């Protein structure tokens, strides 16, 4: 038996020991199955016929070609199942020799190449497994969370069944002011066109009835019924990174960790430290220099007190808890504004609320895909004055292929993740694109290397544009008394007004305890 028979499989004669050649420093290892080695072997040889093997002066038949091997695969599986003990493998002279339990010897490619082939053929379910693991991390905090693209496709199909589409409806979108929330806004606008924004810090609604009414007045009119149609979306947001940490978030171009939602995290920390009592302000009162945040925090505080929380119990809340409280609060505010601004006799409308979840990479520059989720909390339509609730989870999701076709994203990760379909985030701007940033970084490193090679380092100082001096002007003069903030500041220093405000707040706290 010669080592040159590198692609044949022969059976050793009865009574002949099937050990490796002497003096080659053989190394034995257990193999889980004969098929894995054959797969690595044929990975290189699939286009080559196996050469004939010589044994005892007689020419054996060539080893089975790949097609024949595939045809015989069921028999091999049965044979592998029947043999309880694992096969042995010997690495000799760079070749992998497999000795089966029944005496069959297989001489395959070199061990390093076999390892390469094994690495080149990962499990075809690897992407689904990975995306499912990411989805599971998010669903530990929000059990009904689904991919943002999957969510919007279900919303579009559900609302279409009740007559809402991008041609006859206006989207009223309420999100946090954070730039990362635009990922959801863009998905909404891909379906319903340009939206009317009522954004506030943490998603708090401060536009009031007038703000809502302004957006409604921009709605298309239905040609047959003369009605307007509105679709209200409202979502505070939170970050749950790829490892499942709640709060931290990596942003493009910013070293270290940021967070989301910053306004809700600040409220959460202050409510735990200060308690609810001192933060339950009189409705309508807010800090002049911090209006949105002060309204957000006191709205959450009043909601917590309404739900039975105390100064002590609020200390045990986590960020997920406070985000869910914010969602309930903001959704209630939205429904109240709708009741004041919408006439159901003149308009049909839909309401979709929940929490937007950023499941981004731990480090923005690494290879982990950035994913977006939504955990819906309410979905209903009001058509001809009749309210109908919709179960988005009952709407069948599109397949990964359909999702790719709709979004035109052949090169991004789009696959099943848990019970739905997940799609890797596709940034509209190169600043937010991992691939664009990676390409730019490689290009800059190339320039630095070339400058060093060509001796250009000393002559590379960057000058300001020559036209900068021509656009610089003198500071415009403006009287201090003409500044509106100066007027507000004078009233804030009035002691009598301050004392009256404190008495009113104390009376409000006593009345609500």
Residue 160, pLDDT score: 96
Give the residue numbers spanning the domain of 156.
127-435
Residue 164, pLDDT score: 96
Residue percentage of the chain with pLDDT more than 70 = 73
Q: Are residues 138 and 262 in the same domain?
A: yes
| Alpha-carbon gap, residue 507 to 449, rounded angstroms | 71
Taking all residues of the chain, what is their mean pLDDT, rounded to a whole number? Answer: 80
The residue that leads in pLDDT, 62 or 178, is 178
Q: Are 218 and 192 in contact (CB under 8 A)?
A: no
User: Confidence class of residue 97 from pLDDT cuts 50, 70 and 90?
Assistant: confident
- What confidence tens digit (pLDDT) does each residue in 184-206 have? 999 999 999 999 999 999 999 99
What is the average pLDDT across 87-111? 70
Do the domain assignments include residue 269?
A: yes
Angle CA 372–373–378, to nearest 5 = 145
Do the domain assignments include residue 440?
A: no
Do the domain assignments include residue 1?
A: no
Residue 114, pLDDT score: 62
Residue 487, pLDDT score: 62
| Alpha-carbon gap, residue 336 to 330, rounded angstroms | 10
Residue 488, pLDDT score: 66
Do the domain assignments include residue 91?
A: yes
| Alpha-carbon gap, residue 54 to 484, rounded angstroms | 100
Length of the chain equals 513
User: Confidence class of residue 27 from pLDDT cuts 50, 70 and 90?
Assistant: very low
- What confidence tens digit (pLDDT) does each residue in 80-91 have? 444 444 557 777
Residue 30, pLDDT score: 38
The residue that leads in pLDDT, 120 or 255, is 255
Residue 87, pLDDT score: 56
pLDDT at 26 over 90: no
Q: Is 97 exposed, middle or buried (0-12, 13-18, 19+ CB in 10 A)?
A: buried
Torsion angle defined by CA atoms of residues 164, 165, 171 and 173, in that order, rounded to the nearest 10 degrees? 90
Q: Which residues pair with 233 in a beta bridge?
A: 173, 352
Q: Are residues 78 and 217 in the same domain?
A: no
Candidate ranges 103-107, 374-378, 457-461; pick with highest mean pLDDT: 374-378
Do the domain assignments include residue 428?
A: yes
Residue 496, pLDDT score: 81
**Strand bridging mode 170-175 / 228-235:** parallel
Do the domain assignments include residue 134?
A: yes
Q: Are residues 233 and 380 in the same domain?
A: yes
Cα distances (Å, whole numbers) of residue 38 to 43, 66, 221, 260, 488: 8, 10, 67, 50, 82
Among the listed residues 34, 74, 35, 68, the one whose alpha carbon sits nearest the alpha carbon of residue 49: 68
Q: Where are the alpha helices (DSSP H) in 177-318?
A: 182-192, 208-216, 262-274, 291-306
Provide the terminal-to-terminal Cα distance of the chain, rounded to the nearest Å. Answer: 94
What is the average pLDDT across 325-342? 97
Cα distances (Å, whole numbers) of residue 160 to 197, 294, 405, 432: 22, 39, 20, 32
| Alpha-carbon gap, residue 358 to 373, rounded angstroms | 6
Q: Are residues 105 and 133 in the same domain?
A: no
Q: Are residues 68 and 162 in the same domain?
A: no
Q: Are residues 132 and 68 in the same domain?
A: no
Among the listed residues 90, 82, 50, the one whose alpha carbon sits nearest the alpha carbon of residue 66: 50
Q: Are residues 365 and 424 in the same domain?
A: yes
Q: Which long-range contacts (CB under 8 A, 24 or more apart) does 184-188 make?
A: 184/148, 184/235, 184/356, 184/372, 184/374, 186/428, 187/148, 187/149, 187/152, 188/152, 188/233
Residue 109, pLDDT score: 61
- What confidence tens digit (pLDDT) does each residue in 207-248 have? 999 999 999 999 999 888 889 999 999 999 999 999 999 999
- Report DSSP letters for 135-200, one per residue: HHHHHTTSTT-EEHHHHHHHHHHHHHTTT--TTT-EEEEEE-S-GGGHHHHHHHHHHH-S-EE---
Question: For the chain, what is the domain count?
Answer: 2
Residue that is last in its domain, among 410, 435, 460: 435
Q: Are residues 170 and 39 in the same domain?
A: no
Say how far residue 268 (Cα) sits from the centre of its chain: 24
Q: Are residues 98 and 159 in the same domain?
A: no
- What confidence tens digit (pLDDT) does each residue in 390-437 have? 999 999 988 888 888 887 766 778 877 877 888 888 766 555 677 777
**Strand bridging mode 196-197 / 170-175:** parallel
Residue that is last in its domain, among 435, 455, 480: 435
Residue 483, pLDDT score: 66
User: Confidence class of residue 495 from pLDDT cuts 50, 70 and 90?
Assistant: confident
Helix (H, G, I), strand (E, B) or coil at 254: coil
Residue that is last in its domain, among 372, 400, 435: 435
Do the domain assignments include residue 476?
A: no
Residue 132, pLDDT score: 92
For residue 416, give every residue at least 6 positions away whose Cβ sits within 8 Å of its Cβ, in sequence order, or none: 128, 131, 132, 400, 422
For residue 259, give every residue at least 6 positions away whose Cβ sits within 8 Å of its Cβ, in sequence order, or none: 239, 247, 248, 249, 265
Candidate ranges 3-12, 35-44, 118-127; pick with highest mean pLDDT: 118-127
Q: Are residues 153 and 260 in the same domain?
A: yes
Q: Are residues 302 and 242 in the same domain?
A: yes
Q: Are residues 373 and 280 in the same domain?
A: yes
Q: What burial letters (b/e) apply to 3-24, b meaning 16+ CB within 10 Å?
A: eebbbbbbebeeeeebebeeee
Do the domain assignments include residue 169?
A: yes
């Amino acid at each position: 038996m010669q080592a040159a028979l590198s692609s044949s499989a022969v059976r050793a004669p009865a009574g002949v020991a099937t050990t490796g050649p002497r003096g080659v420093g053989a190394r034995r290892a257990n193999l889980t199955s004969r098929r894995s080695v054959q797969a690595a072997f044929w990975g290189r040889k699939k286009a080559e016929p196996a050469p004939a093997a010589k044994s005892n002066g007689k020419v054996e038949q060539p080893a089975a070609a790949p097609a024949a091997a595939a045809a015989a695969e069921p028999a091999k599986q049965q044979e592998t199942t029947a043999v309880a003990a694992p096969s042995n493998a010997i690495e000799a002279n760079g070749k992998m020799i497999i000795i089966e339990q029944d005496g069959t010897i297989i001489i395959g490619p070199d061990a390093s190449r076999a390892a390469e082939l094994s690495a080149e053929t990962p499990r075809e379910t690897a992407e689904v497994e990975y995306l499912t693991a990411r989805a599971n991390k998010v669903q530990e905090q929000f059990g009904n969370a689904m991919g943002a693209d999957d969510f919007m496709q279900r919303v579009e199909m559900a609302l279409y069944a009740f007559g809402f589409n991008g041609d006859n409806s206006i989207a009223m979108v309420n999100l946090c002011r954070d730039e990362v929330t635009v990922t959801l806004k863009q998905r909404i606008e891909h379906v319903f066109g340009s939206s009317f924004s009522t954004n506030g810090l943490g998603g708090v609604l401060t536009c009031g009835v007038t703000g809502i009414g302004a957006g409604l007045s921009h709605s298309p009119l239905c040609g047959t019924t003369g009605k307007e149609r509105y679709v209200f979306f409202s979502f505070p947001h939170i970050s749950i990174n790829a490892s499942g940490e709640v709060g931290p978030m990596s942003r493009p171009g910013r070293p270290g960790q940021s967070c989301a939602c910053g306004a809700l995290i600040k409220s959460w920390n202050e409510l735990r430290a200060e308690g609810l009592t001192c933060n339950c302000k009189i409705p309508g009162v807010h800090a002049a220099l911090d209006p949105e945040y002060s309204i957000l925090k006191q709205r959450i505080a009043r909601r917590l007190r309404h739900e039975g929380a105390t100064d002590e119990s609020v200390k045990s809340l986590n960020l997920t808890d406070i985000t869910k409280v914010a969602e309930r609060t903001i959704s209630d505010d939205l429904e109240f504004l709708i009741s004041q601004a919408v006439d159901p006799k003149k308009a049909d409308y839909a309401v979709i609320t929940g929490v937007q979840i950023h499941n981004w990479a731990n480090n923005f520059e690494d290879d982990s895909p950035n994913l977006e989720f939504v955990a819906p909390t309410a979905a209903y339509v009001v058509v001809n004055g009749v309210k109908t609730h919709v179960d988005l989870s009952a709407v069948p999701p599109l397949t990964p292929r359909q999702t790719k076709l709709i979004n035109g994203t052949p090169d991004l990760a789009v696959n099943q993740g848990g019970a739905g379909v997940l799609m890797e985030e596709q940034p509209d701007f190169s600043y937010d694109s991992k691939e664009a940033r990676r390409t730019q970084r490689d290009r800059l490193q190339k320039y630095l290397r070339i400058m060093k090679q060509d001796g250009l380092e000393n002559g590379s100082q960057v000058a300001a544009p020559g036209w900068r001096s021509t656009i610089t002007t003198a500071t415009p003069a403006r009287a201090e008394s003409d500044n509106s903030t100066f007027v507000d500041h004078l009233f804030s220093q009035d002691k009598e007004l301050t004392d009256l405000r404190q008495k009113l707040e104390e009376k409000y706290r006593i009345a609500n305890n």
